[in-house]
Structure 1
């Protein structure tokens, strides 16, 4: 951080050029944490990021602009105060593990948790009947879910990389992607493990990929 200044409720942070070298997930999560922290200060209405004196741009090249706590859909593990009820569509797999199977599920969840987080956690739980099979290792933990600029960032622990169900790798990935893409605000999905996209899922699918829904797998 080179410098910052405050004027009329707007905090502007100016970072040096090294900020641009952050990987996409780290940048999004760090930015969300900074903005949400600063928004707790009385008198702060918005936060703006500059890189080398120029407005920060997103992955699509658009200027990010002023941000506040509502800019990010983010679960920070807050205490559960209220519950919501919703119906979601999850994609598991068939008995052969080579095709996605859509399953509707009614869920009751904390209002502090985003629907993206709910979907990720319900996928880990697996199906409730033998109509379909699970796709994700049940020991997997959902570490973080963030939605920004139409991209849903899902971070799992290392257990995600081991697949005990003999399911095709792309079926596992697209059970996540297609389930999240049922939400109108999700256009793409980025999957990471312990904050990193350097791994290949089952040594075949690079997690550095921005995944989009595949209808031909449903």
Structure 2
């Protein structure tokens, strides 16, 4: 029975089912019932509605385990001039760092109309590393184009403040295709080591 599946198998099966059903036009979310009751996680909490963004897909790497975490992401308001904090629960492979999970979730954007996205959705997260309290995030060139009419500093600090929610992150270095020579929106040098700003909300 479904309840007898081990944790990893259950999550992988559930991710496959959800991702498959989400390809059907008109399907916005998928929820699971087991013996007529809402599916619960290992902690006893109801899993609720799921979509493709619920699962971090880690292609091409050995899958050792999956973890579930609650992260705080900063998107923007309707005017694009302030940060809006949004909590999100994610299930991700243990092969993926939490820093990378946060960067990828920011690119996906918010899941509701409470806030607006800050990063071009065509942006790819090329690499994320953490060393000596500095989180290095490398995007592709799509990061430099901003389609949402959001203030440049809001975009930057949506990334910085989200990553700085992790206790081990003190500063953030953003690069594009491995280079920090660019200026984001011709105004903010990416050579800067950014620190969290608390006055952006």
| TM-score between both structures, scaled by the size of structure 1 | 0.65
- More divergent stretch after superposition (198-207 vs 72-81): 72-81
- More divergent stretch after superposition (111-120 vs 50-59): 50-59
**Gaps spanning 5+ residues in structure 2: where?**
none
- More divergent stretch after superposition (50-59 vs 144-153): 50-59
**SS of corresponding position for 2:162:** helix
Distance 1:150 1:31 in 2: 35
Larger-gyration structure (1/2): 1
**SS of corresponding position for 2:199:** helix
- Give the Å deviation of 1:74: 16
CA gap of 1:140–1:111, structure 2 versus 1, over 3 A, is same
Distance 1:93 1:208 in 2: 24
RMSD of aligned C-alpha atoms? Answer: 15.9
| TM-score between both structures, scaled by the size of structure 2 | 0.71
- Give the Å deviation of 1:59: 42
Where does 1:37-186 land on structure 2 (aligned, <5 Å)?
78-186=61-169
- Give the Å deviation of 1:195: 0.2
**SS of corresponding position for 1:28:** helix
- Give the Å deviation of 1:27: 41
Aligned residue pair count: 201
**SS of corresponding position for 1:86:** strand
- Give the Å deviation of 1:62: 45
**Gaps spanning 5+ residues in structure 1: where?**
1-17
| Runs of 4+ displaced beyond 6 Å | 18-77
CA gap of 1:164–1:210, structure 2 versus 1, over 3 A, is same
- Give the Å deviation of 1:104: 0.1
Say which structure is richer in strand.
1
- Give the Å deviation of 1:82: 1.4
- More divergent stretch after superposition (167-176 vs 51-60): 51-60
